[in-house]
Every structure is written in structure tokens, then in C-alpha cells.
A = this chain, B = another copy of it.
Amino acid sequence: MFTNKTRIRIHYALTDQMGVVYHGHYAQFYEIGRTEAFRSLGYIYKDIEAMGIILPVVDIHSKFLRPAKYDDLITVTTTLREIPLHHKIVFHSEIHNEQNELLNVGDVTLYFMQAAGMKKINMPDELKEKLKKYF
């Protein structure tokens, strides 16, 4: 299992008039979480794109348990539960506030694809190698 923790401070733009973070913004928190998870492996998502590989999101499932609020310092815990065998990678995200209350749970599925031609491809071997030590 490979896990990474990233912290995000909630700024005003993310709130809505219910006085909480707008539900649509959690997808950004998952994005930041998995980018930092890649970075902690020495893998910059920007470099993956420079190699002609893109990772479009194909499925998101979010559960909203408690609201995040303005100025909260939330922690996004991003977990890869298994090494992807083929083109599909699933990140599991849990978001907690500073009181360690679980606010939100999200599962995001992405595909590895060749940007040119938009063909599904397997996860690059180099990335698979880096992940192996965690499993």
C-alpha cells in the first residue's frame, strides 16, 4: 500500500454561501493529493505529460461526511491500494480537518493514455518499479 499525506489551507474562494467549502471543489483536493503522491515517488506529473502520456479522470465517487470550513488546514491522505496491472489506476482519498475528523472520502479512477491518438496504455514500467517497494 502506498500512501501520501498533503495539507491544504482553505481560502475564501473555496467557500460558498452555506459557509462551507463548495462540494464541487473536493475534486481539486484529490488532484492535489495524487500529484503530491506522485511527487513523493520522484515522479512529477508534469514530466509524465511531457512524455506524451496523459491521465484523464474517468470516474469519481465522493462521500461528504462533514463540511470543511474557511481557513481549515485539511489533510488529504492519498492511497494506492494496489499496483495497477494495466491502464487503470485508482486513488483513494480521505480528507481530515485539524481535529482529525473525517470530512470526505473519494475514489478517483484515471486511465494511462497516449496523448497522441488517445490510446489506453499500461502504467509505465519505471513507475511500476518505484511502487513495488510499498507492496
- Residues of A bordering B, CB below 8 Å: 9, 11-13, 15-20, 22-25, 27-28, 31-32, 35, 44-46, 54, 56-64, 67, 70-71
Q: Within the complex, which residue of B57, B61, B67 is in contact with A56, where a contact is CB–CB below 8 Å?
A: B67
- Interface pair B71/A64, CB less than 8 Å apart: no
**Complex copy number for this chain:** 4
**What separation, in Å, do the CA atoms of A27 and B46 have in the docked complex?**
24
- Interface pair B59/A64, CB less than 8 Å apart: yes
- Interface pair A45/B60, CB less than 8 Å apart: no
Please, which residues of chain B bring their CB within 8 A of the CB of A13? 16, 22, 24, 27-28, 31
Please, which residues of chain B bring their CB within 8 A of the CB of A54? 18
